[in-house]
Structure 1
Amino acid sequence: MINRRPRRLRTTPAMRELTAEFRLDPADFILPAFVADGLDQPREISSMPGVYQHTMDSLKAHVHDALVAGVRSIDLFGVPQDEDKDPTGSQSWAEEGILNRGLAALREEFGDDVVIIADTCLDEFTDHGHCGVLGTDHRGNPVVDNDATLPLYQKMAVAQAAAGAHVVSPSGMMDGQVAEIREALDEAGYQDVSIMAYSAKYASAFFGPFREAVGSSLQGDRRTYQQDPANFRESLLETQLDIEEGADFVMVKPALPYLDVLSAVAEMSPVPVAAYQVSGEYAMIQAAGRNGWVDAHAVMMESLTSIKRAGANQILTYYAIEAARALRG
């Protein structure tokens, strides 16, 4: 005789819903969005079907759609024109820079109804595409200068707070960036602006489509400052340091290839843990779905559930609106 029959709890949809251990909710989702300078209409990103670089008007309409679906948090990236890029990324802290104008437009439109997160990184704004200013090491080789970059992150974060961001999100993986940004925000009177730190951000091939999305000018790679995909303990160290420096959220990026890291970070973190389902993850699901190889909707929901199950409190995903609508029936 079979004594235990776990299948009893799988017999009907209602039973499976009753006994589900983890649940997705639209409030879990953060929608990454792109606002681009010089557009008169939205422009679809070819490697990310269904995702667009937005004008100011279409950005507001996009965020409105998200809010109606139950998604109340946006992570905004700015895409300047090539002629506005320079070695230091100075448009990132300019009041009339595309990202700060986008933040201001969203804050004016939505007030506190939407949590507005700003990407705090120079890479979209530098003509070399790196996340910091370039210098040389003691042998004369070109490197991203960690300490020279930190004051620029401070200027960028303060400008984003002034534009209306509720949260700044340093993603450049510079040592000490969270502490420096926290100090600058507090000194400028923005004690209530939160920091979502990209604490465990890997030098990942899954970022490929994102570079089209932001019009990246990257020369070389970012392996000297983003994490090695072979490393695990390093993520826990990076996360602990960010928490000690004052991070209000921490993040693992990418999500699906690093669920083991996400689980460990969630286990040790006293602050909320976000995970970013990145452009490459999105593009693979879209491509396989469009070719009829998988049920894209089912894979979308399964992958998001796996990220939640691994420990994410917040999930950044380009599927935010679609998934939220599905959850609401």
Structure 2
Amino acid sequence: MSHSHVRRPFARLPDGSLVESVTLSNDSGLSVTIITLGATLQSVLVPGRNGAIEDVVLGHDDIAPYLSRPHYFGATIGRVANRIAEGRFWLDGTPYRVTPNNGPNALHGGQDGFDRRNWKISDNSDDADREVTLTLESPDGDQGFPGTLNVSATYRLDQTTLSIRYRATTDKPTLVNITNHTYWNLGGIAAPERALQQNLLIPADIYLPVDQVAIPTGEFRAVEGTAFDFRTPSPIGARLRNAEDAQLRLQQGYDHNWAVDHRRAEKPRLLARLEDTVSGRVLEVLSTEPGVQFYSGNFLDGTLGGKRDLLYRQGDGIALEPQMFPDAPNQPEFGSIRLDPAEVYDHRMIFRFS
């Protein structure tokens, strides 16, 4: 199978620095574009059963909306994905504070998280036609986190899979929980009505309910008999209309974490499966992390312009974000996201298409 790797200028930032794009493609019709701003997955082109190739991820054709409206389309999220209650945590007896940027809480690494940084492209890949590695140095004290963190994000395209590998090292004990925040609509972005018609499977018996400011309550709640039971494939929209579910009302939809397991795995395992029955496109999400945050695009309000001059509305795409559990530094039962200098953080995720 032939593969190609094309590197191009994408845009200039206000400070004049260059944002670049890299497009990886193969002769099966699969093609992905990554931009250096936020190490962001900007487009994913996938063929359907009739051969029609569609872009299946939300995003933008130019740089300005990525800078002005933080919906995190396709972005790498860090240092710590999801929410930290009040932005506060303790590490080795020392209190730390990440400035809140989501009500009272710190969300997705803080006000100037990894999604806002212009990463560097590494030219050291051994398999350049199939992959690209981007790197970032996050200095000691960045957004309130201790330690200088050196991070890499490797995107690799094989015949039917896109894999992302996040690795990080630190010179002081710190916290790390990195994910990718792509919004998917396997029907294609030109058919936004299909996003909530997708069938979703999440092979988890429990999920994490949240409080009024979206912090997990600490409970591991059974999905049985609730709108959170996706153990068999179910249309997303039909579940969203369950107005009796207090958790759905609280979040105006899904923005919750499912616990597929309680600990990290050595090899990626299935966290979610998404299907568009019209095109026949199927996406499987695998990861070494135990949880997946399912977000139904609740705060897309129809005012944000996207690709092809589309306006993104509530539910026009859904995010499936593999990760450790939210607010883990304040909830010991959720498992540790601590990284020490002798360790290497290594999160592998796979998006498998059929």
- TM-score in terms of structure 2 length: 0.28
Instruction: Answer 1 or 2: which has greater strand percent.
Output: 2
Structure with the larger helix share: 1
Q: Pick the structure with greater CA Rg.
A: 1
TM-score by length of 1: 0.30
